[in-house]
Homo-oligomer: A and B are copies of this chain.
Amino acid sequence: MPLQLDFDKQNGLITAVVQDANTGRVLMVGFMNQAAFDKTIETGHVTFFSRSRQKLWTKGESSGHYLQLKSIATDCDADALLVQAEPIGPGVCHNGFESCFYRTLHGDEWIETEQPVYDPSSVYGARQ
């Protein structure tokens, strides 16, 4: 029997780490359910399941900043995905940064260690 992804450990969800296929930078972490995984494969646009909105969410559907799928790996337990993608647009983070991981621990404080690469209000408008 071929390997099946394990969606059971997290109530139907699997962790999906997105890495920039060109630079290797980790851009974001999201969750996929089976439908999000299938849609990612079918469309080539990385699609998540939004826990807060409880629905599928194709990254870029409002911003235009799609993540073009390049390849997907899974781990030994088949309960996490590593998605290689090419980001369309300057940054994936809704706060205006290239990566959502823009804060680094220094001592006991999280410090913003880089500059925004676009103005979120010009992309997401009043929703910010």
Residues of A near any B CB (own CB < 8 A):
2-3, 9, 15, 17, 19, 24-26, 28-29, 41, 51, 71-78, 80, 82, 93-95, 97, 100-105, 108-110, 113
Question: In whole Å, how far is A91's beta carbon from the nearest beta carbon of chain B?
Answer: 11
Whether B104 and A75, one on each chain, are in contact in the complex, defined by CB atoms closer than 8 angstroms, is no
A78 to B93, CA, bound (A): 13
Whether A82 and B15, one on each chain, are in contact in the complex, defined by CB atoms closer than 8 angstroms, is no
Whether B104 and A73, one on each chain, are in contact in the complex, defined by CB atoms closer than 8 angstroms, is yes
Question: In whole Å, how far is A44's beta carbon from the nearest beta carbon of chain B?
Answer: 13
Whether B2 and A109, one on each chain, are in contact in the complex, defined by CB atoms closer than 8 angstroms, is yes
A51 to B6, CA, bound (A): 14
Residues in B with CB closer than 8 Å to A29 are 15, 17, 75, 80
* A75 contact from B3, B28, B73, Cβ within 8 A: B28
Whether B51 and A74, one on each chain, are in contact in the complex, defined by CB atoms closer than 8 angstroms, is no
Chain B residue with the shortest CB-CB distance to A25? B24
Question: In whole Å, how far is A92's beta carbon from the nearest beta carbon of chain B?
Answer: 10
Residues in B with CB closer than 8 Å to A2 are 108-110
Whether A17 and B9, one on each chain, are in contact in the complex, defined by CB atoms closer than 8 angstroms, is no
A71 to B25, CA, bound (A): 14
